[in-house]
Structure formats: structure tokens, C-alpha cells
Structure 1
Amino acid sequence: MTYSLFHSSRSRRNGTFHNLESGIEEQIEALRDELAEFTHLVSKSSRHQGDKIRGQASAGYEELLGRSEDLLRELQQGYERGATEMRATVRKHPLATIGAAAAVGLAIAFLARR
């Protein structure tokens, strides 16, 4: 009789453990599915954010390139205007230009001597 008491108690415990074990396995499987879905969503979101940032960077690069070309054009035009004005001044006042060049040369020689 003692054997049957312990045996029935053990079989109930084994049944309970089996139920508990299968419940835990089901929860683990559900968590794996949720984790896989979450990973997929994060991956999709990351890809979307990457594409968005790449598009913004490309647009910023194009804008920067356009602005730098405009700036280069303005600098070239300014240089051309300065060179034209310099030539006109030299043609109008050749002696003053030679005198100014000589004065600058003497100043540099004086400073270099010290």
C-alpha cells in the first residue's frame, strides 16, 4: 500500500512537471517567434532609416557641390575684374606704377636686411 501511495504521488508530480515543462517550452517558442518578428521589424526600420539618411546626404552633397561651383565662378570673375582693372591702371599711369613697384621692392629689401 505504501508503494501505491508513493507511486500515485510521483505520477502526479511527473504529470505536473511534464505539464510545466511543456508550458515552458511553449512560452520559449512564443518568445522565439516574437524575437524573430522584432528582429525583422528592427532590420526593416534600420534599412528604411539608412535609405533616408543616404538620400539626405546625397541631396546635401549635390547642394554643396552646386554652391562650391557658384563660389568658384564668382572668384574667377572677381580675379578677372581685378586683373582688368590692374591693366587699365598700369596703362593710365605707367610711371606711378613703376614708382609704387620700386617702393614696395625697397621696403621688402629693407625688412629682409634686418
Structure 2
Amino acid sequence: MTYSIFHSGRSRRNGTFHNFESGIEEQIEALRDELAELTRLVGKSSRLHGDKIRGQASAGYDELLARSEDLLRELQHGYERGATEMRETVRKHPLATIGAAAAFGLAIAFLARR
């Protein structure tokens, strides 16, 4: 009789543990499914944000390129204007130009001797 009491108690415990174990396995499986869904959503969100940032970077690059081309044109025009003004000044004042060049040469020679 003692055997049957312990056996029936053990059977109930094993049944309870089995139910408990089954419940945990079901919860683990549900968590795996939720984690897979979350991973999929995060991946999708990351792709969308990546595409958005890539688009913004591309637009910024295009704008930067356009601005740099404009700046380069302005610098070229400024250089051309400066060169033209210098030629005109040399043509109008040749003696002053020679004197300025000589003074500049003497200043360089004086600084080089030190």
C-alpha cells in the first residue's frame, strides 16, 4: 500500500512537472517567434533608415558638389580679373612696375643675407 501511495504521489508530481515543463517550452517557443518577428521589424526599420540617410547624404553631396563648382568658377574669374588688372597696371606704369620689382628684389636679398 505504501508503494501505491508514493507511486500515485510521484505520478502527480511527474504530471505537474511535465505540465510545468510543457508550459515553459511553449513560452520559449512563443518568445522565439516574437524575437524572430522583432528581428525582422528591426531589420526592415534599419533598411528604411539606411535608405533615408543614404538619400540625404546623396542630396547633400550633390549640393556640396554644385557649391564647390560655383566657388571654383568664382575663383577662376577672380584670378582672371586680377591678372588682367595687373597687365593693365604694368602697361600704364612701366617705370613704377620696374621700381616695385627692384624694391621687392632688394627686400628679399636683404632678408636672405640675415
Give the shorter-chain TM-score range. Answer: over 0.9
Say whether 1:74 aligns with 2:78: no
* Runs of at least 5 residues in structure 1 that lack an aligned partner in the other structure: none
Say whether 1:58 aligns with 2:55: no
> TM-score, structure 1 length as denominator?
0.97
* Runs of at least 5 residues in structure 2 that lack an aligned partner in the other structure: none
Say whether 1:91 aligns with 2:68: no
* Separation (CA, whole Å) in 2 of partners of 1:59 and 1:33: 39
* Separation (CA, whole Å) in 2 of partners of 1:107 and 1:94: 20
Q: Which residue of 2 aligns with 1:22?
A: 22
* Separation (CA, whole Å) in 2 of partners of 1:16 and 1:110: 104
Say whether 1:110 aligns with 2:79: no
* Separation (CA, whole Å) in 1 of partners of 2:96 and 2:6: 124
* Separation (CA, whole Å) in 2 of partners of 1:104 and 1:7: 115
Runs ≥4 residues deviating over 2 A: none
Deviation at 1:3, TM superposition (A): 1.1
Q: Deviations over 1:32-84 (max 9, x none)?
A: 00000000011111111111111111111111111100000000000000000
* Separation (CA, whole Å) in 2 of partners of 1:31 and 1:107: 84
